[in-house]
Amino acid sequence: MVIRECLPTEEVEWIRGEYRAMLPLFNRPTDDPEAMDWIQQDAVAFCLWHDHDSIARFAQSPYLAQIAAELLGKERLRLGHDEMLFKAPGDDEISWHQDAAMVPVDGSQLIAIFIPLIPIREADGFPVFVDGSHRGTLLGLETGLLKPRREDLARIIADEGWEVSSTGPLELGDVIFLHGNTLHGSHPNRTHKFREGCGLFFIADGARVEEPLADSQVIGLSQCLRGLKPGDLVAGRHHPVVYDASVQRAANS
């Protein structure tokens, strides 16, 4: 779901600046927006908050985590990871996927947010969702890797006749909340500039790492749940509690 005007625009602009400052990590110019036009590769990185205090402050802020906890119906949420997601000019669609297929944690324990860091118009690529898919389970895992699943999921959606919704235009301050099982993707970036966005993954306190069911989860385990293995509680310094309803209640009483 989209919560419109969820964040003040100044805050989104600040977050954007923090992530744009990471572009040198990708060997890209940062100071000349025109110069970025011809760059054809995505700038995607996970867990930047581990090494960057400003991103750590944003990623651990309880405001977004509280909304996420309430939507997921959980008392306590931990930070899973942050994600820089700058889609390159002319980039293809983000194919259908479920975030629970990216990390080996039960989808009912996961909620992700996506924050557009520029206003998103049709040419930038609207995010799309399958309505009600959060009530389902993981799909298409038998084929393992990301690429085959994309066709499988598109076929399943067509075969089942599921309704697909688009967010439509997104403004600075709008935030998308995605249950771990929600089938989603986005349209291609048909512009000559980056489609700049970032995301946070939250995991319910008490959730455990499961045995990976697909290669994508093996990759997610090493990239996003660093140091954890199947059977471990998602906890530790890389997964701090970012929202605790009981602390909030005590503070309010």
**Closer of 225 and 244 to ligand AKG (Cβ):** 225
Nearest C-alpha neighbor of 86 from the set 128, 129, 131, 48: 48
Token reading at 24: 């040198």
Residues 6+ apart with CB under 8 A from 133: 98, 162, 181, 182, 183
Token reading at 194: 């980056």
**How many residues form the binding site for ligand AKG (CB under 6 A)?**
9
Q: Whole-angstrom Cα distance, residue 68 to residue 180?
A: 11
Q: Does 216 bind ligand AKG (CB under 6 A)?
A: no
**Closer of 137 and 166 to ligand AKG (Cβ):** 166
Which parts of 94-173 are beta strand (E)? 94-98, 110-116, 127-130, 164-166
**Closer of 114 and 243 to ligand AKG (Cβ):** 114
Q: Does 107 bind ligand AKG (CB under 6 A)?
A: no
Asked if residue 149 lies in contact with residue 140, where contact means CB atoms within 8 angstroms, the answer is yes
Tell me the per-residue interface mask from 26 to 65 with ligand AKG, x by CB under 6 A, - otherwise: ----------------------------------------
Q: Does 80 bind ligand AKG (CB under 6 A)?
A: no
Residues 6+ apart with CB under 8 A from 247: none
Q: At what angle do helices 146-160 and 215-224 cross, to 10 degrees?
A: 120
Q: Whole-angstrom Cα distance, residue 18 to residue 193?
A: 18
**Closer of 114 and 177 to ligand AKG (Cβ):** 114
- Which residue in the set 107, 197, 212, 220 belongs to the binding site for ligand AKG (CB under 6 A)? 197
Q: Whole-angstrom Cα distance, residue 173 to residue 74?
A: 24
To ligand AKG, the closest distance from the beta carbon of 119 in angstroms equals 13
Tell me the per-residue interface mask from 123 to 162 with ligand AKG, x by CB under 6 A, - otherwise: ----x-----------------------------------
Residue type, 238: H
Q: Does 180 bind ligand AKG (CB under 6 A)?
A: no
Q: Does 184 bind ligand AKG (CB under 6 A)?
A: yes
- Which residue in the set 114, 129, 202, 243 belongs to the binding site for ligand AKG (CB under 6 A)? 114
Q: Does 177 bind ligand AKG (CB under 6 A)?
A: no
Question: Measured in whole angstroms, how far is the alpha carbon of residue 227 from the centre of its chain?
Answer: 20
Q: Whole-angstrom Cα distance, residue 115 to residue 23?
A: 18
- Which residue in the set 36, 43, 65, 85 belongs to the binding site for ligand AKG (CB under 6 A)? 85
Q: Does 113 bind ligand AKG (CB under 6 A)?
A: no
To ligand AKG, the closest distance from the beta carbon of 81 in angstroms equals 11
Binding stretches for ligand AKG (CB under 6 A): 85, 94, 99, 114, 127, 184, 186, 197, 199
